[in-house]
Amino acid sequence: MRRLSVALVHHPVVGRDGAVMTTTVTNLDVHDIARSARTFGVSDYFVVHPIEAQRALVARIVAHWTGDGRGLSRIPDREPALSRVRVVATLADACTAAGDAEMWTTAARPRARSISFDDARAHLRDDGRPVLLVLGTGWGLADDVMERADAHLPPILGVDTYNHLSVRAAAAILLDRLVGDRCAR
């Protein structure tokens, strides 16, 4: 199994109008994706933010649940999840720290050069480079991130064309599709 990491990008992402922007940190993004990451054996969960004060906020959330913060004694189950969070300034930093990883992206719209989930599952089991699954906040990753990606996963579709999943829900489904236990089905 290749090493699998996840990155949640707050910049560069696009806003409602399609312009490149920076989003603020959402507390439950830190918790939910860390818990999903731990459940599915993700080695590192990178929270990517260019603003120092926002990185400090994430570090403080993590310390509350892992270090000598009061959260650790209140809900000890959060420690194995939150301890996988790494706070970095840029996506390039995340790629390097993930072991010079390939970048796999996903988006609500279909892209050229996309690989199926079945192929992606198989690739994760070959001897290739580590993989960084890159998720965008806001209205999704900026085009230049998409263009630098090594592979695109297909959009998660339900019953029709509505696919406005939260990034927390999308991360959970992606990890289940990529590494979830299919025998339990």
Contact residues for its own copies (CB under 8 A)?
A: 16, 28, 31-32, 35-36, 38-41, 75, 77-78, 80-81, 116-118, 154-160, 162-166, 168-173, 175-177, 179-181, 184-185
According to DSSP H, which parts of the chain are helical?
27-39, 52-66, 70-74, 79-82, 91-97, 117-124, 143-148, 167-179
Determine the residue type at 119: D
Nearest CB to its own copies, comparing residues 27 and 96: 27
Structure tokens at 119: 């192929």
Closest approach of its own copies to the CB of residue 185, in Å = 4
Closest approach of its own copies to the CB of residue 120, in Å = 9
Cβ atoms 37, 175 nearer than 8 A: yes
What's the sign of the alpha-carbon dihedral 88, 91, 94, 96? negative
Closest approach of its own copies to the CB of residue 108, in Å = 10
Closest approach of its own copies to the CB of residue 32, in Å = 4
What's the sign of the alpha-carbon dihedral 66, 26, 21, 104? positive
Rounded CA-CA distance 97/86 in Å is 9
Nearest CB to its own copies, comparing residues 65 and 95: 65
Nearest CB to its own copies, comparing residues 25 and 95: 25
Nearest CB to its own copies, comparing residues 63 and 156: 156
Closest approach of its own copies to the CB of residue 170, in Å = 8
Nearest CB to its own copies, comparing residues 148 and 177: 177
